[in-house]
Structure 1
Amino acid sequence: MYITSSRKPSAGTRTLCKHLASFFGFEYFNRGKMSMGEVLSLSHGNPLLIVGEYHGNPGSLAFYDGEGFCTLSIYISVLEAPSNYPKKSNSFPLIIGDNELVLVIKDLIVPDDSTFSKVLSLTISGNQLDFKEGENELFSLRMKSYKVFEVDEECS
């Protein structure tokens, strides 16, 4: 999976992109002036996560499948700003929680034959996403709302 930002991202949005890329082991690239078509072609048919902004702060996470269709949109606010980058891992973080979103995110970002990290975890509980390394919380996002899209719907 690839991660990028909306056009002209703030420093906070770029930082969150880098933290998410490090946490999940994804590849981050600067979007610059690229159009959405160029961004999708640069992902080479792999899933894509675009971090959007709201009033100069990270405000949304839009997940696209390998064919360029938006599959999930989450409106967020940062509760605790990222402090340290998590250690890069060759395995995926454990994704746990009491929400249907857990299954949707697993389907989007975790290949079927993956191994899971013993250190990194993403806990989705209520309206909060907690990113942890062991017992240490790296950062938290508050989920304002989310929408799972059908194939023919436009991502908003």
Structure 2
Amino acid sequence: MLITSSRKPSANTRTLCKYLASFFNCAYLTRGKMGLADVISCSDDSNVLVVGDYHGSPGSLMFYDKDGAELLSIRLSIFYPDGYKFSNLKSMEPVLMGDSELGNMLSFYFGIPQYECDGIAKCIRVEDDRMEFLYSGSLLFRLNVKSYRVPEVAD
């Protein structure tokens, strides 16, 4: 998967992109003036995640397939706990815990296995209203899900 931002992202949005890329062990692309088609052409035949901005903070996650079709759109807000400090986590593979509709879709699009988080270093606990990113049982950050939608497929 390739992670990038919206066209003119805030510093907070660029930071979240880098955190997500580190957490998911995937590439982050500084978008600049590239259009979505150009970004997708850089993705090496994998899905693309675009982190959108809303009033200077991350406000959405939009997943696209290798052909540019929108797979999933999530509106969100972000929460960092007190004393939050993120470090590079690329050496470990994450797992996803949660049997919600959103959890199942994220597992499929990210290619992340679904297991219980007990004893797992990197874990995402997903419910339909939040995604908690955990490292060794401690909360790194939480994405509060306001809404999500799966685009209808045209026949």
TM class by shorter chain equals 0.7 to 0.9
SS state at 2:90 partner:
coil
- Residue in 2 aligned with 1:31? 31
Which structure shows the bigger proportion of residues in strand conformation? 1
Distance of 2:105 and 2:56 partners within structure 1: 28
The CA RMSD measured in Å over matched residues stands at 2.2
Match of 1:141 among 136, 140, 143: 143
Counterparts of 1:67 and 1:150 in 2: how far apart (Å)?
A: 16
Structure 1 stretches lacking a partner, 5+ long: none
Moved over 3 A (4+): 150-153
Alignment of 1:2-151 (within 5 A): 2-80=2-80, 83-91=85-93, 93-110=94-111, 118-151=120-153
By how many angstroms is 1:37 displaced?
1.3
Please state how far the C-alpha of 1:77 moved relative to its aligned partner.
Answer: 0.4
Contact 1:128 1:142 in 2 (8 A): yes
Q: Which runs of 5+ in 2 are unaligned?
A: none
Amino acid in the other structure paired with 1:72: L
Counterpart residue type for residue 68 of structure 2: G
Q: Which amino acid aligns with 1:105?
A: L
Residues 96 and 102, structure 1, Cα contact 8 Å, conserved in 2: yes
What is the deviation of 1:109? 1.0
TM-score scaled by length of structure 2: 0.87
The structural deviation recorded for 1:98 is 4.1
